[in-house]
């Protein structure tokens, strides 16, 4: 008999399920889903502030309309008659290097540069060195700039929430220094986008880069579900889903109000 392999995530026995040692039924109603995300991935419960930051991350990327490739994929699959989860799977797989996947790439570079700060460099020096290395390799810094937004409102808000939650440190400094250096190098602003901002706060909380893209996937799977349902409810199968020639007919801008 081969040696048993080991896993430390979940323990199961009849009528008992332990996630990282906690009974799932005792977690329900006691911790929030964003806190459960932290627990599952890191093995321990987060601080209250960390839970709020993850919550904001997950809200930030729920949807960005049909122009996102993941959503186009999910909605095109919907029109061919696949089950919901097949459409979601296609869309999730689109979260990669150039789409959402900027999170993982950005985290890797930030961790590298942070090591140089640990070795005594300033954030500005570490940022300048990083950008020079990327330039030499002909690679763009992931997580900065956006096809549509010149100043991504989601990034601004995420940093504000993180600051209030005490999730702010050298990675935030580093991101600011990268922005400043990019502006010097390019002669124009290339502000951090939502992927970049998510990468920064995930680094502040110590998440490994290998798990970074999951946050985008967890969030965007919600929007993809909405698009799947809208597609099969409003349209006939095998429709050509045009990313240009559409128009929004939802509610006008409104405020979340007294909540």
- 122 near a second copy, rule: CB under 8 A: no
For the chain, the C-alpha Rg in angstroms (whole number) is 20
Quick one: CA torsion of 197, 200, 205, 207, rounded to 10 degrees?
Answer: 100
What are 181's two structure tokens?
Answer: 């250096």
Figure out which of the listed residues 134, 180, 190, 232 binds a second copy, where binding follows CB under 8 A. 232
What are 53's two structure tokens?
Answer: 């930051």
The least distance separating a second copy from the CB of residue 121, rounded to whole angstroms, comes to: 27
Figure out which of the listed residues 108, 157, 168, 170 binds a second copy, where binding follows CB under 8 A. 157
**Is the dihedral angle over the CA atoms 76, 77, 80, 81 positive or is it negative?**
negative
Residue 80's CB: how many other CB atoms inside 10 A?
A: 11
Here's the x/- map for a second copy, 21-50, by CB under 8 A: it reads as: xxxxxxxxxxxxxx-xx--xx-x-x-----
Instruction: Give, as ranges, the residues between 54 and 113 that touch a second copy (CB under 8 A).
Output: 55-56, 58-60, 62-67, 69-70, 72-73, 76-77, 79-86, 88-90, 92-101, 104
The least distance separating a second copy from the CB of residue 161, rounded to whole angstroms, comes to: 5
The least distance separating a second copy from the CB of residue 122, rounded to whole angstroms, comes to: 31
Residue 64 DSSP symbol: -
The least distance separating a second copy from the CB of residue 167, rounded to whole angstroms, comes to: 13
Instruction: Give, as ranges, the residues between 195 and 214 that touch a second copy (CB under 8 A).
Output: 208, 210-211, 213-214
Pick the closer one to a second copy by CB: 82 or 190: 82
Pick the closer one to a second copy by CB: 2 or 138: 2
Instruction: Report the DSSP beta bridge partners of residue 96.
Output: 99, 100
**Separation between Cα atoms, residue 180 and residue 8, nearest integer Å:** 42
Pick the closer one to a second copy by CB: 12 or 120: 12
Residues in binding contact with a second copy, number by CB under 8 A:
134
**Do residues 217 and 100 touch, judged by C-beta distance below 8 A?**
yes
- 17 near a second copy, rule: CB under 8 A: yes
- 189 near a second copy, rule: CB under 8 A: no
- 143 near a second copy, rule: CB under 8 A: no
- Rama region for 154: left / alpha / beta (φ>0; ψ in -120 to 50; rest): alpha
What are 190's two structure tokens?
Answer: 């290339």
Determine the distance from the C-alpha atom of residue 58 to the mean position of all C-alpha atoms in its chain, rounded to a whole number: 7
The three-state secondary structure class of 194 is: helix
The least distance separating a second copy from the CB of residue 42, rounded to whole angstroms, comes to: 9
The least distance separating a second copy from the CB of residue 226, rounded to whole angstroms, comes to: 5
Determine the distance from the C-alpha atom of residue 62 to the mean position of all C-alpha atoms in its chain, rounded to a whole number: 10
Pick the closer one to a second copy by CB: 4 or 188: 4
- 225 near a second copy, rule: CB under 8 A: yes
């Amino acid at each position: 008999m081969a040696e048993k392999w080991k896993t430390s995530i979940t323990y199961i026995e009849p009528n008992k399920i332990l996630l990282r040692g906690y009974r799932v039924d005792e977690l329900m109603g006691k911790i929030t889903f964003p806190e459960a995300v932290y627990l599952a991935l890191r093995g321990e419960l987060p601080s209250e502030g960390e839970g709020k930051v993850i919550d904001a991350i997950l809200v930030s990327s729920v949807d960005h309309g049909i122009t996102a490739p993941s959503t186009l994929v999910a909605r095109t699959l919907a029109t061919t008659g696949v089950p919901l989860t097949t459409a979601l799977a296609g869309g999730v797989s689109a979260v990669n290097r150039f789409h959402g996947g900027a999170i993982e790439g950005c985290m890797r570079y930030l961790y590298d540069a942070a090591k140089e700060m640990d070795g005594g460099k300033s954030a500005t020096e570490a940022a300048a060195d990083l950008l020079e290395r990327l330039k030499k390799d002909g690679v763009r810094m992931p997580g900065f700039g956006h096809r549509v937004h010149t100043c991504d409102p989601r990034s601004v808000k995420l940093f504000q929430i993180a600051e209030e939650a005490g999730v702010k440190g050298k990675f935030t400094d580093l991101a600011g220094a990268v922005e400043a250096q990019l502006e010097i190098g390019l002669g124009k602003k290339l502000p951090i986008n939502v992927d970049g901002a998510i990468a920064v706060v995930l680094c502040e909380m110590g998440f490994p880069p290998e798990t970074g893209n999951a946050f985008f996937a967890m969030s965007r799977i919600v929007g993809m579900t909405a698009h799947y349902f809208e597609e099969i409810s409003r349209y006939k199968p095998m429709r050509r889903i045009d990313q240009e020639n559409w128009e929004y007919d939802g509610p006008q801008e409104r405020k979340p109000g007294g909540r």
